[in-house]
Structure 1
């Protein structure tokens, strides 16, 4: 890598606003706000709207769409061959 052209890659805490969840990882993102982590050190914190702790797919609260009904309605409206005649 060329020196002095890449952003600093350092530890950052990402905090989920929707759920009470935070994780420490490395990133190039910056923030003016900081938080004290479990190890006693202070790290920049980035607030995110959604993470694996609050996303419906990962929490098991996702709704299943009725895809079969949509396909049947499409076939009734436009025919089985998709309009190729």
Structure 2
């Protein structure tokens, strides 16, 4: 392989805004992220599943007569 073609590979800590740090390898000297798996609502289980648009009611209103037969 040619010398000087490939970037330098570093072991770094990617730091989240919540303070969580994950060790990984990168060509960048440092990585800062806004959200990680430790604070993301989907992974922490704090996500709220709501029917904000009333989709179920709209579906039943539109197709409810077909399923009742």
TM over 0.5: yes
Query: Aligned partners of 1:51 and 1:66: how far apart in 2?
Result: 26
> Residue 9 of structure 2 corresponds to which residue in structure 1?
9
Instruction: Please list every run of at least 4 consecutive aligned residues from structure 1 whose deviation after the TM superposition is greater than 2 angstroms.
Output: 2-9
**Which runs of no fewer than 5 residues in structure 2 stay unpaired?**
64-69
Count of matched residue positions in the alignment of Structure 1 and Structure 2: 61
- Structure 1 residue 23, shift from structure 2 partner: 1.5
* TM-score of the superposed pair, with normalisation by structure 2: 0.64
Structure 1 gap segments, 5+ residues each: 31-44, 81-85
Give the TM-score normalised by the residue count of structure 1.
0.55
Aligned-residue RMSD, C-alpha: 2.3
Q: Which residue of 2 aligns with 1:21?
A: 20
Greater strand proportion: 1
Question: Which is helix-richer, 1 or 2?
Answer: 2
